[in-house]
Amino acid sequence: MNALEKYEIEDLKESKVLEENQTWKIDSLEGADWAFRKISTLKQANKEINQLANKERERIADWENKETQSNQDSIDFFGHKLADYLYQLRKSDKKAKVKTPHGTVSTRKQSDVWEYTNDAVEKLKEMGLTEFIEVKESIKKADLKKSVTVLEDGSVVSPDGEIIESIKVIPRDDKVVIKEAE
């Protein structure tokens, strides 16, 4: 943060504008410019805070990964040894499992993995297996908006004059957009 930005923040703190926000208002171009300077300075301060916080988060994540990686390696090692022991027991008993007060080792059936290539839909169409193809329907909203009429109460009328009961337009007030200079 440069000296000018620090001055802007100090000026804001001293002005007590934020404490008196109910009665304070902008009544001139200079006042508007002053508010834009404050917005710009505060956004810059937030950007610097976020950058610092992100660096710290990254540093902490690196530390966490380093600290937990050796533990995870040991967990994997013991897991493999337990699996080897289970498979050794399974040579004499197909349903064997290891059960102790601190844990259990067993196996569980998994469903097969199905892989589909990018052209699988086209291949199914060519083979006449269209009953296995899902077609998703959706409204072409842009085209619909161009062809219908909206009444004052928000009702939508189709091109042939019928009211479309399942669609209603809810008007919204204008949104104030504040954009400070870069």
Q: What is the pLDDT of residues 63-98, one digit of tens each?
A: 999 999 999 999 999 999 999 999 999 999 999 999
173 pLDDT tier (thresholds 50, 70, 90): confident
Q: Give the pLDDT confidence of 5-53 residue by residue, as tens digits.
A: 777 777 766 666 565 566 778 899 998 998 898 888 889 889 999 999 9
Least Cα distance to 32 among 180, 159, 134 occurs for 180
- Does residue 117 surpass a pLDDT of 70? yes
Mean pLDDT of 91-107: 93
DSSP state of 1: -
- Does residue 107 surpass a pLDDT of 80? yes
Is residue 45 within 8 A of residue 77, CB to CB? The reply is no
Share of the chain above pLDDT 90, in %: 71
Mean pLDDT, the chain, rounded, equals: 89
pTM of the complete model: 0.49
CB atoms within 10 A of CB 41: 21
Q: Which residues fall within 8 angstroms of residue 130, CB to CB, at 6 or more apart?
A: 124
**Cα dihedral 97, 103, 109, 113 sign:** negative
Q: Give the pLDDT confidence of 46-56 residue by residue, as tens digits.
A: 999 999 999 99
Residue 177 is predicted with a pLDDT of 82
Looking at the chain, the number of H-run helices and the number of E-run strands are 4, 5
Residue 17 is predicted with a pLDDT of 59
Query: Rounded to a whole number, what is the largest CA-CA distance in the chain?
Result: 91
